[in-house]
């Protein structure tokens, strides 16, 4: 699975304006609703349900919120860069400024885990992460992801 299997030019945002974790999840849900066709509220509820189990902030300013939805017909991702980092309850306590949200069908099984692994592996590349943080244009942000998009096996 490649990062570009999860995101498209329409699902990348270089200037998310949320100031809290809840507002960030709402902003991501609204963006996702436009690309997957489900109501933003259903997406937000799925993300919030998962966050209640434990933060998806993985550290070093990165979060990978994710959720499963029964009505979803495929795997969708939204990648974003925040204008200002927000407290996300991350494992290391660092505020989050990069987020890779993943939505999968409830029946996705291993594909859900493959998508999470793909996002995590992409965001382990410190050079890419630094460049993503400095990019303030949606098209340029997607281009960076696409240029570095290679298969990441689960």
* Domain of residue 130, CATH code: 3.40.930.10
Residue 10 has pLDDT above 80, yes or no: yes
Residue 149 has pLDDT above 90, yes or no: no
Residue 9 lies in a domain: yes
Neighbouring residues of 50: CB distance < 8 A, sequence distance ≥ 6: 56, 65, 66, 67
Residue 130 lies in a domain: yes
Residue 70 has pLDDT above 80, yes or no: yes
Residue 107 lies in a domain: yes
Residue 19 has pLDDT above 90, yes or no: yes
3-state secondary structure of 126: helix
Which structural domain, as residue segments, surrounds residue 17?
3-144
3-state secondary structure of 147: helix
Query: How large is the C-alpha radius of gyration of the chain?
Result: 14
pLDDT at 150: 60
Report, as an integer, the average pLDDT of 90-106. Answer: 94
Residue 149 lies in a domain: no
Residue 27 lies in a domain: yes
Give the residue with greater pLDDT, 151 vs 106: 106
Count the domains in the chain.
1
Residue 61 lies in a domain: yes
Percent of the chain with pLDDT over 70: 96
Active site includes 23?
no
Residue 154 has pLDDT above 60, yes or no: no
Q: Is the pTM of this model over 0.75?
A: yes
Residue 153 has pLDDT above 50, yes or no: no
Residue 151 lies in a domain: no
**Mean pLDDT of the residues in the chain:** 92
Q: How far from 103 is each of 13, 18, 54, 64, 77, CA to CA, in Å? A: 16, 20, 17, 10, 6
């Amino acid at each position: 699975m490649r990062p570009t299997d999860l995101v498209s030019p329409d699902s990348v945002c270089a200037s998310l304006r949320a100031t809290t974790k809840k507002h960030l999840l709402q902003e991501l849900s609204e963006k996702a609703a436009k690309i997957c066709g489900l109501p933003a509220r259903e997406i937000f509820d799925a993300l919030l349900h998962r966050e209640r189990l434990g933060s998806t902030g993985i550290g070093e300013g990165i979060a990978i919120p994710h959720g499963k939805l029964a009505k979803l017909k495929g795997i969708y991702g939204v990648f974003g860069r925040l204008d200002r980092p927000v407290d996300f309850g991350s494992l290391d306590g660092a505020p989050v400024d990069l987020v890779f949200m993943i939505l999968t069908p409830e029946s996705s099984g291993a594909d859900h885990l493959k998508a999470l692994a793909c996002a995590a592996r992409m965001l382990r590349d410190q050079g890419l992460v630094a460049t993503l943080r400095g990019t303030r244009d949606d098209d340029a942000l997607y281009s960076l992801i696409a240029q570095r998009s290679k298969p990441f096996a689960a």
